[in-house]
Amino acid sequence: MNKPQPSIFGSVYFVLMAIFLYLPIFILIVFSFNDSTVLAFPLKGFTLDWYRQLGNAHELLISARNSVWVGVLSSILAVLLGSLAAIAMTKRHMPGRNMFLSLASVPLVMPSIVLGVAMLVFFRKVLGLDLNMWLIAAAHVLISIPSTILIVMARLADFSYNLEEAAMDLGANYWMTLIKVTLPISFPALVAAFLTAFTTSFDEYAMTTLITGTDTTLPVYLYSLLRFPRRLPVAVAMGSIIMIASAILVVLAEWLRRWGTTRTPKEERV
């Protein structure tokens, strides 16, 4: 690779863009310490009250717990389903491969509102189910399948064939190869896919709210708070904690995705 030339315009632009991207987040964090129930300028003074009140905000904590539950369950399932499919997709002779990949990409490009109302109608009218958290988790599995497949496929693209072949030369059958070679190779991708799926699920509002029954997830609860501004600062405090936690998660996921991968830049697939 060529030695990159320094670019003053590029650097300045990047810094400005970073400020633009982080300004709203910074403002929220500032407001989580603002001594006023009204989220508006001018700022009133410093307080830790909103963070203290977090412990008593039962509904908020319950919805956060629900979100963690939905996130963990749906991410585990999405990684399980998606990685198995991705392993099969690395084989070019797989019949219907392109058809499957097209179908699996649909949740990625389907507008959330369409997906949400379609599921709402299907669950309520056709299956006659009461809306519950299992259904939310199932729906989150669906929207995380595409990213899982992409991440695991990208990881396996370089490795699996030669190593798998070696295992087979040594007499391993397919399932054996899968367990002893393919899955360990894809482990970093599995963790990265899990984290990606979890952050997606944890933040999903537009579709989730349509299929939410009595138990709410955190984003759904946060949205309902917008109508009761008095309790909003506590939610903003919680949001600040979550934002910093998810930033750490993202860095971890990225780091794992690159870990041991030589062709780093080429793997930047969304």
**Cβ pair 152, 83 in contact under 8 A:** yes
- Length, in residues, of the chain: 270
Q: Is 54 in the site for another protein (CB under 8 A)?
A: no
- In DSSP notation, 217-238 reads -HHHHHHHHTT-GGGHHHHHHH
When the beta carbons of 24 and 55 are compared against another protein, the nearer one is: 24
CA dist 72 to 69, 95, 109, Å? Answer: 5, 32, 23
Please state the closest distance from residue 48 (CB atom) to another protein, in A.
19
Helix, strand or coil for residue 27? helix
x/- binding map, residues 178-217, to another protein, per CB under 8 A? Answer: ---------------------x---x-xx---x-------
- Neighbouring-strand partners of residue 34: 46
Q: Is 157 in the site for another protein (CB under 8 A)?
A: yes
Q: Is 19 in the site for another protein (CB under 8 A)?
A: no
Segment 240 to 259, residues that bind another protein, using CB under 8 A: 242-243, 246-247, 249-251, 254, 258
Among 91, 184, 259, 260, binds another protein (CB under 8 A): 91
Stretch that binds another protein, among 44-52, 58-66, 186-194, 218-226 (CB under 8 A): 218-226
Q: What's the rounded Cα separation, in Å, for the pair 128 and 56?
A: 36
Q: Is 120 in the site for another protein (CB under 8 A)?
A: yes
Q: How many CA atoms lie within 13 A of 94 on its CB side?
A: 14
Stretch that binds another protein, among 47-55, 57-65, 102-110, 184-192 (CB under 8 A): 102-110
Segment 62 to 81, residues that bind another protein, using CB under 8 A: 80-81
Q: What's the rounded Cα separation, in Å, for the pair 175 and 182?
A: 10
Phi, psi dihedral angles at 34 (to 5 degrees): -85, 135
Among 106, 179, 184, 259, binds another protein (CB under 8 A): 106
CA dist 134 to 85, 199, 212, Å? Answer: 23, 18, 10
Stretch that binds another protein, among 44-52, 58-66, 137-145, 183-191 (CB under 8 A): 137-145
Among 122, 134, 184, 259, binds another protein (CB under 8 A): 122
Among 19, 21, 48, 179, binds another protein (CB under 8 A): 21
Angle at 141 between CA 139 and CA 142, to 5 degrees: 65
Q: How many residues bind another protein (CB under 8 A)?
A: 113
